Chains A and B, each alone.
Chain A
Amino acid sequence: MARITAGIATSHVPAIGAAFDLGRSQDAYWKPVFDGYEWVKEFERREDPDVVILCYNDHASAMMLDVVPTFALGCAEEFAPADEGWGPRPVPRVMGDPVLAGHLAEQLVIDEFDMTLMNHLDVDHGLTVPLSLMFGKVEQWPVRVIPLAVNVTQFPTPSAERCWQLGAAIADAVQAYPANLNVQIWGTGGMSHQLQGPRAGLINPEFDNAFLDKLSNQTDDLRKITRLEFLRESGSEGIELIMWLIMRGALGEKVEELHRFYHVPASNTAVGHIVLRPVR
């Protein structure tokens, strides 16, 4: 039977991808960021997951113009890196798992989550930057990936509580999958940042660190954060943090925190990263 063995959260700042691709990870500005991911790279080598369910948001690369799905599940055999205006990132194509994705699609809709299913999806930095951070420079990604794109761009986004419940439903669906698979779930985006208008550059370390602190065992507080509070306290793009709650919701009640990293800034953004293990 398939099982979720770890939850990982990380920011997915595009400039981190650019620094990675241009070989600037050891520059004075970027080194502290990349050093924060050395631990998880070793962790991933040991854990060797088969599949990652990767919660991220499409940054107006494959959707958000003609269609605006709240939750979209990538069901294809593979996903190409998107051209976001400066050519696609020079990273491997992302291999999917259509059989598990089809199972999730079925189970989630039965459990009242009316998912949008993507049979074609180009994936942008929101998905590929976390892969680079966890696995480094590789010829092929060592995992299959099921993209789960969440609308955090157009208001109203799903609520924190709805994301949590989706995570719980994903956990049930994975558990009901007969193949013996080591599955991880990742929540990406955040932490505090605002990319628009005169308030751009907003960073709120108190909010971010409280979020990290509560992610293990004060999750009821996090599930109650309103969209308004995210926008106000963590910036208009800080609301990406709801995707961390899908990850956390999929881990069940008790978790062990294995690793944590927080750093300001990467470009416009506070970088947060945490690794959690479900305790059963």
Chain B
Amino acid sequence: MRTRLYSLEELEDIPGTKVFNAMRSRQAYHLHKFCMSLMDAANREAFRLDEHAYLDRFRMSPEQKQAVLDRDFNQLIELGGNIYFLVKLSNTDGWSTQKAVGSMTGMTPDEYAAMMRAGGRSIKGNRSIRGKS
């Protein structure tokens, strides 16, 4: 066996963090295909016109479609999504990246923006689930 510096399970020990890997990338392939389609102005228009019909063009799971309709970014990440794809959706909505990112924290946009202006979220207590450090 080759040696490893740490076991891959340790990646699950970071609080509030999903590590995007090849398996998640495959799970979200059609969701991400939808997100990438929003890089075209005509597609953005078609999506705005009828979100349900537009989403039906893609072989996404019903849960993924619902999470898009709900703009539930935590759920989209739970279902395999990655933020760099998902911001195509929030950009289409005219949201700032900060608004999209902040929506995953349970804070209002103003609360989140204030936290960032005050120096951001501290690393203390946010390193490890097991070690609670």
Chain A contacts to B: CB under 8 angstroms: 14-15, 18, 59-61, 64-65, 68, 82-87, 153-156, 192, 194-207, 226, 228, 231-233, 236-237, 264-265, 267-268, 270
Contact = CB atoms under 8 A, between A and B. Distances in A.
Interface string B101-133: 110111000001001110111110011100000
B36 interface: yes
B123 A233 contact: yes
Contact of A205 (B10, B39, B119): B119
B27 interface: no
Contact of A207 (B16, B17, B123): B123
Contact of A61 (B15, B21, B39): B39
A85 B92 contact: yes
Report, as a range, how many residues of chain B touch the other chain.
35 or more
B1 interface: no
A51 B70 CA distance: 46
Residue from the set B11, B20, B97 with the largest chain A CB neighbour count within 10 Å:
B97
Given A61-B39, A194-B17, A200 B10 contact: no
B18 A197 contact: yes
A213 B40 CA distance: 43
Most chain A beta-carbon contacts within 10 A, residue among B15, B84, B116, B127 = B84
A85 B97 contact: no
B41 to A, nearest CB: 7
Give the one of B88, B89, B94 with max A CB within 10 A.
B88
B85 A199 contact: no
B87 interface: yes
Contact of A153 (B20, B29, B122): B20
Nearest to A224: B5
Nearest to B35: A60
Contact of A65 (B33, B77, B87, B96): B33
30 contacts: A60-B85, A64-B82, A65-B29, A65-B32, A65-B33, A65-B85, A68-B25, A85-B39, A85-B90, A85-B92, A86-B91, A87-B41, A153-B84, A154-B82, A155-B20, A155-B21, A195-B83, A195-B97, A196-B17, A197-B16, A200-B16, A200-B101, A201-B112, A202-B123, A226-B6, A231-B14, A264-B120, A267-B96, A268-B116, A270-B120
Contacts of A87: 41
Given A84-B91, A85-B38, A203-B121, A154 B97 contact: no
* Most chain B CB neighbours (cut-off 10 Å) among A194, A200, A267: A200
Contacts of B121: 194, 199-203
B74 interface: yes
Nearest to B13: A232
Given A60-B88, A233-B123, A197 B97 contact: no
Identify the interface centre among A83, A232, A265, A267: most chain B CB within 10 Å of its CB. A232
A122 B53 CA distance: 29
Contacts of B6: 226, 228
